[in-house]
Chain A
Amino acid sequence: MIRSIREGRQRFFDRNIALLMILPAIIIVTVLIVVPMVYSFYLSLTNLNLLHPSRARFIGFKNYLKLLEDPIFWRSLMNTVIFMGVAVNVEFFLGLILAQLIFKVTRGQSTVRTAIMAPMMFAPVLVGFQFKWFFNDQVGLVNNLIYFFTGEYHLIPWLINYPLNLFALLAAEIWMSTPFMVIILLAGLVSLPVEPFEAAAVDGASSWQQFRYITLPLIGPFTYIAMVIRSLDLGRAYDLVRIMTAGGPANRSEMIWTYTFRLAITDNKFGMGTAMSFVTVVLSFAFVIYLFRQLAKSRQEVY
């Protein structure tokens, strides 16, 4: 009898060992991620207002429907998509060029590598203030440079007019984050095997052909990882926008992050703000899934 219980217990452990081993992880993930997510999803279905928390009640998907009707939401979404699309791609191309150049440096490569990482060492808030000053229409560096070179005073309102303000934001973002791309792609370049290049050289391939048909496919996985990390990171580039334009003027440079903050915290519409966060999360997921599919595809091509 006792024996069979013991055996039964043994069998239970054997069968469920995997589950038991990951149980702590499941508990932690549930407590720290699933429960808050579910709760905040519930909040997004209420009209919770921070000034009148006692008046909060369940309103179904009304917040989501309201968002769909909100022109500022659509504008912020479009701005965000443009911002992310341009930033990630430009950062990638600049990163690739810079990485190639640094890769070819024979002496003092580590010095150059360290130097190129400098922008990453600044807090985004500081970068924001710096670029806000660069693009100030009256005393800013950019307009003064234009004056210096052309001799004519053009008062270009960089941070006011659309899409100039998007351009200014992009300039700051790209300056700040390209080094990250450089580092990842450089790591990719360094890890490439030499044999394919030697074989190509023997076959008489030009350096462009080598780059196009060997380097690029081989560093594909690095590219996608760098892009996934950058796009998720961009999804948090709140501080830069907040400092430079705060989504304004007149919501012209509104991004989903600044608008979420405006709704949830400044306007006290917490339910609405959470709904908007969920839309953002879903979009991010879709984007990441797309990028991961591409990553898997490029892996198959390479190996």
Chain B
Amino acid sequence: MKRANLFFVVVVGALVLFTLSLAMAEELKLGRFDGVTIKACLIGGGDYEKIYENFFPKFEELTGAKVEIVFKGNGFDIDKKMKLDFAAGTVDYDVCWNHTSFFSQYFDFVEPLEKYFTEEELADFSPRVMQFAKKDGHLWFIPRHADISALHYRTDLFNNPELQQKFKEKYGYDLRPPETWEEFKDIALFLNNPPEIYGTQFAGKEEALSGRFWDILMAYGGKILDENYKPAFNGPEGIKAATLLRDLYQAGAMPPGMVNFLWDDVAANWANGTIAMYTEWYGWYSYFQNPESSKVAGKFDLARQPKGDAGIHSGWAGAHAFSVTKFSKNKEAAAALVKYITSYEPQLFEGRIGYIPVRNSVFETLKKEAESSPDPLAKKRLELMQLQINEDFTPPPIVPEWIPISNILYPTLQAIMLGDKTVEDGLNEAAKKVEELMAEAGYYD
């Protein structure tokens, strides 16, 4: 009897799946590509590869095409490989990885995708993210998942009645997650009690620091480059952003060693309970919420990043994506693969692993699932992510020079924070160097 039941369940399940997949293939209009081999150059490592393993076989079943991954590596490896292959004319893959921070380097390299996708097919994606997938009227990639930071703050401190009272007496408003960067500064200075706990901190070098500067700069309405590609970060907005960083560092509300920290140092400090509040990527969440690895498990909450006086919430972000190469001999099939792998089911699968989805329907499903989660933050976290992805998502300037610009910016920001240079001098010097860089790259020819 039991066995018969099981058999019944399996058969029905298989039938349902089969119908679903048929329905989906029809809905997606993938087409048939029997005998076609699609070669792909993709981001590899850990969780990134799970959707390839789980969904490429299904795609092969649905379309009759064969998918072959010819290269897997981290973003920087793929970037190097694609540039070299492009220069040498040896691109032999149809589908490639892409990323909001990198894609402006690949315009000669990837196929505009607008003719392969209908409006309805793209409607489910966050319009905000899609806005950054377009340049010069073309659609260059289809996003896969995104990353953005949220404000992390310690509830044991923010909800402490004694601290709340003292804060109100001192600043005249309630102690709550900061809504503006000015409030952020007040609270960081107020909760600062080194060496037990620092008011705040960020990763203090390389792109990590330039990116946080960009975060604050955009909130004040500033830009790294203006529409003529001239440096614009040394205006009043940039001065405000850099001054904020300097004041917090000079006041000791950030640890002195911070200018040598990278992501993992800061995350470890947060998990060790030595930071009162800061902005951090969502990706660390399960590590922070695990009592074995983190002293702050269950003792923190998340909020939208503060805004500046331009009314913009900080939202330095990026998105992994897929593109079709210009050199593909089967662009239809390659586009079908991109369409399938960025469709609802694979995206939901990645959302369940913990990546930030870029499809609103995936968010809705995940939020429904989170209602039964024992984690009290599960649903709130997803709602916050969705809000940020749809409203705050802002990648750094879309120029291949972003990393060289960042390499000019971050030592300058360090010098400003350490007091080696004044805010104005530092930013003006950096702006001059960026202008030289852009001139050499031919932007002003």
Residue of A nearest to B255 (CB): A138
- A157 to B414, alpha carbons, bound, how many Å? 14
Chain A contact residues (Cβ within 8 angstroms of B): what range?
A: 20 to 34
- A153 to B193, alpha carbons, bound, how many Å? 13
Q: Do residues A137 and B403 form an inter-chain contact, with CB atoms below 8 A? A: no
Chain A CB within 8 A of B145 CB: no
The residues of B that contact A268 with a CB separation of less than 8 Å are: 404
- A157 to B418, alpha carbons, bound, how many Å? 12
Q: Do residues B442 and A250 form an inter-chain contact, with CB atoms below 8 A? A: no
The residues of A that contact B87 with a CB separation of less than 8 Å are: 53
The residues of B that contact A55 with a CB separation of less than 8 Å are: 440-442
Q: Do residues A137 and B441 form an inter-chain contact, with CB atoms below 8 A? A: no
Contact residues of A between 244 and 291, Cβ < 8 Å to B: 245-246, 248-252, 262, 266-268
Q: Do residues A245 and B256 form an inter-chain contact, with CB atoms below 8 A? A: no
Q: Do residues A250 and B401 form an inter-chain contact, with CB atoms below 8 A? A: no
Chain A CB within 8 A of B411 CB: yes
Q: Do residues B256 and A160 form an inter-chain contact, with CB atoms below 8 A? A: yes
Q: Do residues B411 and A250 form an inter-chain contact, with CB atoms below 8 A? A: yes
Residue of A nearest to B262 (CB): A246
Chain B CB within 8 A of A51 CB: yes
CB distance from A261 to the nearest CB of B (A): 11
Q: Do residues B256 and A137 form an inter-chain contact, with CB atoms below 8 A? A: yes
Q: Do residues A248 and B194 form an inter-chain contact, with CB atoms below 8 A? A: no
Q: Do residues B205 and A267 form an inter-chain contact, with CB atoms below 8 A? A: no
Q: Do residues A160 and B407 form an inter-chain contact, with CB atoms below 8 A? A: no
Q: Do residues A267 and B257 form an inter-chain contact, with CB atoms below 8 A? A: no
Chain B CB within 8 A of A15 CB: no
The residues of A that contact B414 with a CB separation of less than 8 Å are: 248-250
The residues of B that contact A155 with a CB separation of less than 8 Å are: 194-195, 255-256
A250-B256 contact in complex given A47-B440, A55-B442, A153-B195, C-beta closer than 8 Å: no
- A137 to B255, alpha carbons, bound, how many Å? 8
The residues of B that contact A153 with a CB separation of less than 8 Å are: 195
CB distance from A132 to the nearest CB of B (A): 8
Chain B CB within 8 A of A52 CB: yes
The residues of A that contact B269 with a CB separation of less than 8 Å are: 138
Option from B404, B408, B411, B421 in Cβ contact (under 8 Å) with A248? B411
Main secondary structure of the interface of A (DSSP, over half): loop
Q: Do residues B195 and A138 form an inter-chain contact, with CB atoms below 8 A? A: yes
A251-B411 contact in complex given A138-B255, A159-B257, C-beta closer than 8 Å: yes
Chain A CB within 8 A of B420 CB: yes
- A252 to B260, alpha carbons, bound, how many Å? 12
Q: Do residues A51 and B256 form an inter-chain contact, with CB atoms below 8 A? A: no
Q: Do residues B418 and A250 form an inter-chain contact, with CB atoms below 8 A? A: yes
Residue of B nearest to A51 (CB): B400
Chain A CB within 8 A of B274 CB: yes
Q: Do residues B404 and A245 form an inter-chain contact, with CB atoms below 8 A? A: no
The residues of A that contact B411 with a CB separation of less than 8 Å are: 248-251
Residue of B nearest to A136 (CB): B257
Q: Do residues B259 and A51 form an inter-chain contact, with CB atoms below 8 A? A: no
Residue of A nearest to B105 (CB): A51
The residues of A that contact B407 with a CB separation of less than 8 Å are: 262, 266-267
Chain A CB within 8 A of B303 CB: no
Q: Do residues A249 and B204 form an inter-chain contact, with CB atoms below 8 A? A: yes
- A49 to B437, alpha carbons, bound, how many Å? 10
Please encode chain A, from 111 to 147, with 1 for each CB lying within 8 Å of some chain B CB and 0 for all others: 0000000000000000000000000111000000000
CB distance from A169 to the nearest CB of B (A): 12
Chain A CB within 8 A of B378 CB: no
Please encode chain A, from 212 to 245, with 1 for each CB lying within 8 Å of some chain B CB and 0 for all others: 0000000000000000000000000000000001
Please encode chain B, from 255 to 291, with 1 for each CB lying within 8 Å of some chain A CB and 0 for all others: 1110110000000010000100000000000000000
Q: Do residues A157 and B401 form an inter-chain contact, with CB atoms below 8 A? A: no
CB distance from B425 to the nearest CB of A (A): 13
Residue of B nearest to A49 (CB): B440
Contact residues of B between 186 and 208, Cβ < 8 Å to A: 194-195, 204-205
- A251 to B412, alpha carbons, bound, how many Å? 9
Residue of B nearest to A157 (CB): B256
Binding site for A on B (CB under 8 A): 87, 105, 194-195, 204-205, 255-257, 259-260, 269, 274, 400-401, 403-404, 407-408, 411-412, 414-415, 418, 420-421, 437, 440-442
- 17 A-B residue pairs with Cβ-Cβ distance under 8 Å, sorted by A, are A49-B440, A52-B442, A55-B440, A137-B255, A137-B256, A138-B257, A153-B195, A157-B256, A161-B256, A248-B260, A248-B411, A249-B259, A250-B412, A251-B415, A266-B404, A267-B437, A268-B404
List 20 additional contacts besides A137-B256, A157-B256; criterion CB under 8 Å: A49-B441, A51-B400, A137-B255, A138-B269, A155-B255, A157-B257, A159-B260, A160-B257, A160-B260, A160-B418, A161-B256, A246-B205, A248-B414, A249-B260, A250-B415, A252-B418, A252-B420, A267-B407, A267-B408, A267-B437
